[in-house]
Amino acid sequence: MTAPLDDTTARVLLVRTARSLFTRGLTHGSTGNLSLRLGDGGLLLTPTGSSLGAVQEADLSRTDLAGRHLDGLKPTKEAFLHAAFYRARPDARAVVHLHSTHAVAVSCLDGLDPANALPPLTAYYAMRVGTLPLLPYHAPGDSALEPLAEQTARSHHAVLLANHGPVVAAATLEQATDAIEELEETAKLYLLLRGHITRPLTPEQAAVLVPTSP
């Protein structure tokens, strides 16, 4: 298991990653939220209404595993979603949720397979994401999504929220970021290839590339 992070280190890492995602156009405005599990079992999250491009270390929120606000600014309205992933995946120490353009575009398409919204077009997608369940639409902050997210997260470290965006958990923030970026690139490929005959990895090829992160 990855060593737990202390509060100071976690704050620096969370803000640095938030800046990187924002400046590279993977999130916009005040969308998206990140979190880390701390050594004391609590969660450190970006606050509600904040831009990942401007959030400061002192702005970050702390909650417990039930999503209850402990200190700092008011947490993201989707704190319950982060908490659900951590409860379902004890080895996960980071959760990233973005509204990245191509993944959101895919989440708005009709006729997606709810068990696996994107095909394994590349080996890296199969390694970093695997299968991607599509969870039905809920308004942002609707805690009715929590039990379904927790149940799904027990067997999948990445999900796509319908008409909303992706959520990924991993053992480290770097791994979660790598996976969600791979998901965004695969969504882009999927949209570029619509109308073309494609050749995704076969089930046998994908099976040997199952993600190893929590």
Would you say residue 2 lies in a domain? no
d(CA 191, CA 4): 38
Q: Could you give the number of structural domains in the chain?
A: 1
Would you say residue 213 lies in a domain? no
pTM above the 0.85 mark? yes
What per-residue confidence (pLDDT) applies to 214?
A: 59
What per-residue confidence (pLDDT) applies to 89?
A: 97
What per-residue confidence (pLDDT) applies to 211?
A: 80
Q: What positions carry a catalytic annotation? A: 78, 124
The answer to whether 89 and 95 are in contact (CB under 8 A) is no
Would you say residue 43 lies in a domain? yes
Would you say residue 212 lies in a domain? no
What per-residue confidence (pLDDT) applies to 1?
A: 56
**Rounded to 5°, angle at Cα 57 from 52 and 60:** 75
Tracing tokens 């202390």 back to the chain, one arrives at: 6
153 residue type, one letter: A
Query: pLDDT by residue for the chain (214 residues), tens digit each?
Result: 567 788 999 999 999 999 999 999 999 999 999 999 999 989 999 999 999 999 999 999 999 999 899 999 999 999 999 999 999 999 999 999 999 999 999 999 999 999 999 999 999 999 999 999 999 999 999 999 999 999 999 999 999 999 999 999 999 999 999 999 999 999 999 999 999 999 999 999 999 998 865 5
What per-residue confidence (pLDDT) applies to 202?
A: 93
Please, what sign has the CA dihedral across residues 42, 176, 159, 151?
Answer: negative
Q: Give φ, ψ of 208 to 5 degrees.
A: -85, 0
Tracing tokens 């994908």 back to the chain, one arrives at: 206
How far does CA 78 lie from the centroid of its chain?
11
Question: Going along 89-198, which residue ranges are E strands?
Answer: 94-97, 134-135, 158-161, 165-170
Q: How far is CA 152 from CA 46, 109, 155, 174, 204, in A?
A: 23, 21, 6, 22, 23
Range of the domain at 70: 7-207
Report the CATH number that the domain containing residue 94 is assigned in CATH: 3.40.225.10
Would you say residue 51 lies in a domain? yes
What per-residue confidence (pLDDT) applies to 4?
A: 78
How far does CA 8 lie from the centroid of its chain?
23
What per-residue confidence (pLDDT) applies to 212?
A: 67
* Closest C-alpha to 116, from 181, 80, 160, 148: 160
Would you say residue 158 lies in a domain? yes
Cα torsion 206, 81, 183, 46 to 10°: value is -140
What per-residue confidence (pLDDT) applies to 213?
A: 57
